[in-house]
Amino acid sequence: MNIHEYQAKALLKEYGAPVADGLPIFSADEAGAVAEKLGGPLWVVKSQIHAGGRGKGKFKEESAGEKGGVRLAFSKEEVIEFVGQMLGATLVTNQTGEAGKQVNRIYIEDGADIDRELYLSILVDRTSGRVAFVVSTEGGMDIEAVAEETPDKILTVPINPDAGVTADNAIALCDALKLEGTARDDGMHLFPILYKAFVEKDMSLLEINPLIVMENQRLRVLDAKVSFDGNALFRHPDVMALRDKTEEDAKEIEASKYDLAYVALDGNIGCMVNGAGLAMATMDIIKLYGAEPANFLDVGGGASVEKVTAAFKIITSDPNVKGILVNIFGGIMRCDVIAQGVLTAVQEVGLEVPLVVRLEGTRVEEGKKLIAESDLNVIPADDLNDAAQKIVAAVKGA
């Protein structure tokens, strides 16, 4: 689960990280009062959407002006003007896709005098199997591009979970970021704080791009992106309360109601599969045969007919889906339950795209019989290879 920048900053502030004073607003008439409260003389008006690249982004509406989604304002009047232009407008960045995202919240914060922009993130590093810091002196820009063009400017520091951030770790980070004097003192203090927040709140990503050295040589968290591990959210009602459903895919919200592991993707073949491993294999083989999956979906083990029905409806409600592949290996999950779920869903919402079904395992005969006896137009398949080829052919033929 992701949260907004202003929420992430408030959370990091609780842990003692240096962030600017700022206030979120939800309607344009709050802008003047907030600008006065913060006092200026420099304000930054920041669109709050769950995507980065806002500064360099562009609004779809001409009325929002030529400037991007993060704007420096030099007077209260300018704060009001920018808020009026940006609130409700649709911002397109290199992370939103073409459709862009509507700006429903704006964060107004004190402007900082920037000396240098640095990059810092904390993530779960699969190579070391540990939580690791990733830092670079090349902050404020697209870190993927830095990784591509100048990988030597990025340092990864894995953290030993028993010891936490050691002095040696913090020194290595300070050196990589070329921090001196007061900025170095700030760094030594800040890195353990960020690590503590990451671990205690079960984050999966904490990205600060940029972390800045101000002209007074103090550090400040200028941007903050935080993602939480969805499987640990039950431990954090305070974090759950920060959820902004308007930022989430409607199909993913529906899926979460039924406890389905569902992720919307860009392709056109809808997949209904049980088990994350089989779901990944199914997506891979669809790609192997030259098409793209429209989603990742794991209905899990021992799902009810109701859950399977909901899953199938979520897939068919996606207008990008031009064909569906049901690939089930029944273990705890029973093939007849899957078949019944598919039939129930089709009775309720119809089916307008080709459907390939591959069933194997527990109660497979009962499952196949249910489908055969229905008037459902199913393309049967024998194995994974066969199933993938058939659905790709059906979608490409259509």
Is residue 44 a contact point for ligand ADP (CB under 6 A)? yes
* Number of amino acids touching ligand ADP (CB under 6 A): 18
For residue 223, state whether it binds ligand ADP (rule: CB under 6 A): yes
Question: Counting contacts by CB under 6 A, is residue 251 touching ligand ADP?
Answer: no
Closer CB to Mg ion, residue 7 or residue 209?
209
Q: Which of 30, 109, 138, 223 binds Mg ion (CB under 5 A)?
A: 223
| Minimum distance, C-beta of residue 93 to Mg ion, in the bound complex (Å) | 10
CB-wise, 112 or 154, nearer to ligand ADP?
Answer: 112
Which of ligand ADP, Mg ion, none does residue 44 bind to, with CB < 5 to 8 Å depending on kind? Answer: ligand ADP
Q: Return the range that interacts with ligand ADP (CB under 6 A); candidates 58-66, 105-113, 291-299, 381-389.
A: 105-113
Quick one: which segment of 2-10, 150-158, 222-230, 388-396 binds Mg ion (CB under 5 A)? Answer: 222-230
Considering beta carbons, is residue 114 or 264 the nearer one to ligand ADP?
114
Which residues are annotated as part of the binding site for substrate? Answer: 274, 331-333
SS3 sequence, the chain? CECCHHHHHHHHHHCCCCECCEEEECCHHHHHHHHHHHCCCCEEEEECCCCCCCCCCEECCHHHCCCCCEEEECCHHHHHHHHHHHCCCEEECCCCCCCCEECCCEEEEECCCEEEEEEEEEEEECCCCEEEEEEECCCCCCHHHHHHHCHHHEEEEECCCCCCCCHHHHHHHHHHCCCCHHHHHHHHHHHHHHHHHHHHCCEEEEEEEEEEEECCCCEEECCCEEEECHHHHHHCHHHHCCCCHHHCCHHHHHHHHCCCEEEECCCCEEEEECCHHHHHHHHHHHHHCCCCECEEEECCCCCCHHHHHHHHHHHHCCCCCCEEEEEEEECCCCHHHHHHHHHHHHHHHCCCCCEEEEEEECCHHHHHHHHHHCCCCEEECCCHHHHHHHHHHHHHHC
Pick 190 or 222: Cβ nearer Mg ion? 222
Contact pick of 50, 54, 313, 322 for ligand ADP (by CB under 6 A): 54
Active site residues: 119, 207
Per-residue contact flags (x/-) with ligand ADP for residues 183 to 212, judged by CB under 6 A = --------------------------xx--
Q: Which is nearer to ligand ADP, 17 or 310 (CB)?
A: 17
Would you tell me which residues interact with ligand ADP (CB under 6 A)? 20, 44, 46, 52-55, 70, 109, 111-112, 114, 117, 140, 209-210, 222-223
